[in-house]
Amino acid sequence: MSRALVSLNNHQNIVNLSNGKPTTNSLAIAKEFGRRHDNVVQSLEKLIKGGSLSFLDFKERDYIDARGKHQRMIELSERGALIAMPFIGGEKSKQGQVKLVDAFLSIRDDVAINWDDSRKAASVSFRAVMDALKAARTEEKKETLACHYANESRMINSIVFGKACCVDRSSLSKHALSILERVEAKDAYLIAKGRTFSQRKAELFEFQTNLLVQVSLEAHQ
């Protein structure tokens, strides 16, 4: 597999744009999660080998280290990063997850990105919610049951759609899917920050309200 050369300076931020789409990489993740880079690459390779990360989720890259030598790293799409981050570990795992989710949210606010695969993005974002919830409860030595995931889903649906019942994503417009995906990504961020259920509900309601105002203003500009 051919590998593109990437300047080390591109890793000053945890998320960057690649061909107009947000990406991160194993170097940035290693720094934020407090792990050795080779160990992060090894964790990602296991996910790739096991099929959790498809060929669309990652790219082989080269970078130049401080000694001027070419080294290998792995670049991840947002989907790849959200799937991989619960499996990275490290001494700053929880903080790393917070920074990673926050960085992806922030870069969307800074640039206009065309989400051609909104339905898939929304599905991936709820997987991030489930993974973050399980990680948080495991850290508290609590079991995570199906009802906990269902409660989170009902809470998100009540905020976004005004009803807690199950929503058929295939029937949603691209706009509605985009709103849902951003609220879910924000929820994963809040879980990683240790917010309680009631705190998340209040913050997500405010987040969604502000998001709708922003979208409305953009539509009239």
Average pLDDT over residues 46-72: 88
The burial of 156, by beta-carbon neighbours within 10 Å (0-12 exposed, 13-18 middle, 19 or more buried), is given as: buried
Round to whole Å and give the CA distance between 151 and 55: 33
Q: Where are the domains of the chain?
A: 1-89, 115-221
pLDDT band at 24 (very low <50, low <70, confident <90, very high): very high
The 3-state DSSP composition of the chain as helix, strand, coil percent (nearest 5) reads: 65, 10, 25
Higher per-residue pLDDT: 120 or 159: 159
Instruction: Let me know the angle formed at the C-alpha of 89 by 86 and 91, rounded to the nearest 5 degrees.
Output: 135
The b-or-e profile of 119-147 (16+ CB within 10 A means b, else e) is: eebbbbbbbbbbbbbbbbeeeeeeeeeee
**192 with 98: CB under 8 angstroms?**
yes
Round to whole Å and give the CA distance between 154 and 150: 6
pLDDT(66) > 70: yes
Q: 142: which DSSP letter?
A: -
Q: Are strands 58-64 and 21-25 parallel, antiparallel or unpaired?
A: unpaired
pLDDT(11) > 60: no
